[in-house]
Amino acid sequence: MSLSRTQIVNWLTRCGDIFSTESEYLTGLDREIGDADHGLNMNRGFSKVVEKLPAIADKDIGFILKNTGMTLLSSVGGASGPLFVPSLSAPHRRPRHGKA
């Protein structure tokens, strides 16, 4: 299965919409087990991601994902930002065509 650049951009935009809509809900869940900032942090981070998307939407998928990870790292507090970087940056580092 492969994804197109358009699908990635649409997915990230949709993530931004969902984190915006569900920010209070996620913060409420975090209130039960943490410091009640997860929804706020994720909303802030994905708002920054969505803000940057128009300027990078024509780049390759690896660049878009790496940029997204770095944006989340710099704008999401707590442990969540650093957790996203490896998962979003990994496709950028993978060897192409089976070459190591």
Token pair recorded at residue 77: 């507090």
Supply the pTM of this predicted model.
Answer: 0.84
* pLDDT tens column, 23-72: 999 999 999 998 899 999 999 999 999 999 999 999 999 999 999 999 99
Q: Classify residue 24: in a domain, yes or no.
A: yes
Q: Classify residue 98: in a domain, yes or no.
A: no
Range of 39's domain?
A: 5-92
Which residue, chain included where needed, has tokens 């209070």?
A: 24
Q: Classify residue 29: in a domain, yes or no.
A: yes
Q: Classify residue 39: in a domain, yes or no.
A: yes
Q: Classify residue 15: in a domain, yes or no.
A: yes
Give me the number of domains the chain comprises.
Answer: 1
pLDDT of 92 strictly over 60:
no
Q: What backbone torsions phi and psi does residue 35 show, to the nearest 5 degrees?
A: -105, 15
CATH number of the domain within which 71 lies: 1.25.40.340
pLDDT of 15 strictly over 90:
yes
Q: Classify residue 38: in a domain, yes or no.
A: yes
Q: How far apart are CA 68 and CA 90, in angstroms?
A: 12
Q: How far apart are CA 53 and CA 56, in angstroms?
A: 5
